[in-house]
Amino acid sequence: MKVTWKGVYPAVTTKFTTDDQLDLVVFDKGIEAQLEAGVDGIVLGGSLGEASVLSNEEKIQLVEHTVALVNGRVPVISNIAEQATKVAIDLGKKALDAGADGLMLLPPMRYKADAHETVTYFTDVAKNVALPIMIYNNPVDYGIKVTLEMFEEMAAFDNIQAVKESTRDTSNVIRMQSQFGSRFSVLTGVDTLALESLCIGADGWVAGLVNAFPKETVAIFRLAKAGRIEEALAIYRWFLPVLELDIHPKLVQYIKLAEACTGLGTETVRAPRLAIKGAEREHVLNIINTALEARPELPADSWGKLELANA
């Protein structure tokens, strides 16, 4: 399926049973809620998807399962976050064979590669895996910034097509588009900067709290892109305290708690992560429950299944 790199792409959480197996029943419920809301793609095994504690076999199992479940309704994107280039290439090829429509590609993990090493890593994957690629640019969390000069080198590779822009500098949306035009799609990757980024030209939103609030996330995107800024802003103001859960080191636990509160998931995480408790849990619950008590009514035309939205 062709990836357009536009719209809302949930970075979905990975669901686990209490005995630490993949919980595909709960996972399916979450995916169907995303599709019903009208998302434009699914991103598997990202940071929020607990990639660091998934085996490669589990990553490919998730791809195979999701591709079958989605059945062509939206593209399925597999995240690649590896230490060794050859492992990244191997996993990318296996994702392709499993039916993935594209890759989200992080810089090398653990080793802080320089600019030349990072570009070589990205382009080696691009040369060896025949899938469209979105580069994940997140120097805050991963220590490597992908600069305009590095994107200039990668522009020669047709399958490097997009960037998940998570530098926390919204000006990078403008910089990318000023330098490259439409050569690279730019998707915002920080929930608390989403509306700002969309209003200045971002093509999409790789979202986190969409896991718990899919319709609200899609509504903000669609309203913003339709120029209905006041309507989008009203939802965004309500949403912001919850969106701030996405920029905390425990975003996985926090967002999974939000999913549990909205009936779209469970709190179960994989060790070394542990479910939050005590005062911390009460604080996060208060944020979530306050939002749920004031959950806004959404414009009827701001969300919905993709086939209806595009009809």
Rounded CA gap, 104 and 14, in Å? 16
**pLDDT, position 73:** 97
Per-residue pLDDT reduced to its tens digit, 213-225: 999 999 999 999 9
* Amino acid of residue 202: A
Can you spell out the DSSP letters for 109-138?
Answer: SSS---HHHHHHHHHHHHHH--S-EEEEE-
pLDDT in tens, 245-254: 999 999 999 9
pLDDT, average across residues 110-129? 97
- pLDDT confidence tier of residue 306, bands split at 50, 70 and 90: low
Among 87, 141, 80, CA closest to 112: 141
Q: Which residues pair with 76 in a beta bridge?
A: 42
Rounded Cα gap, residues 29 and 21, in angstroms: 17
Rounded CA-CA distance 62/143 in Å is 27
Among residues of the chain, what percentage have pLDDT more than 70?
Answer: 98
Q: What is the pLDDT of residues 121-177, one digit of tens each?
A: 999 999 999 999 999 999 999 999 999 999 999 999 999 999 999 999 999 999 999
Q: What is the pTM of this model?
A: 0.96
* Average model confidence (pLDDT) across the chain: 96
Task: Identify whether the C-beta of residue 203 lies closer than 8 Å to the C-beta of residue 187.
Answer: yes
Q: What is the mean pLDDT of residues 69-92?
A: 97
Please give the Cα distance from 274 to 269 (Å, whole number).
6
Say yes or no to pLDDT of 275 above 80: yes
Q: What confidence category does residue 310 fall into, taking pLDDT thresholds of 50, 70 and 90?
A: very low
The CA distance from 171 to 292, in Å, is: 32
pLDDT at 305: 79
Q: Is the pLDDT of residue 308 over 50?
A: no
pLDDT tens by residue, 12-71: 999 999 999 999 999 999 999 999 999 999 999 999 999 999 999 999 999 999 999 999
In CATH, which superfamily holds the domain spanning 7-309? Aldolase class I (3.20.20.70)
CA 102 to chain CA mean position, Å:
13
Q: Where are the domains of the chain?
A: 7-309
Q: Do 78 and 66 meet the contact criterion of CB atoms below 8 Å apart?
A: no
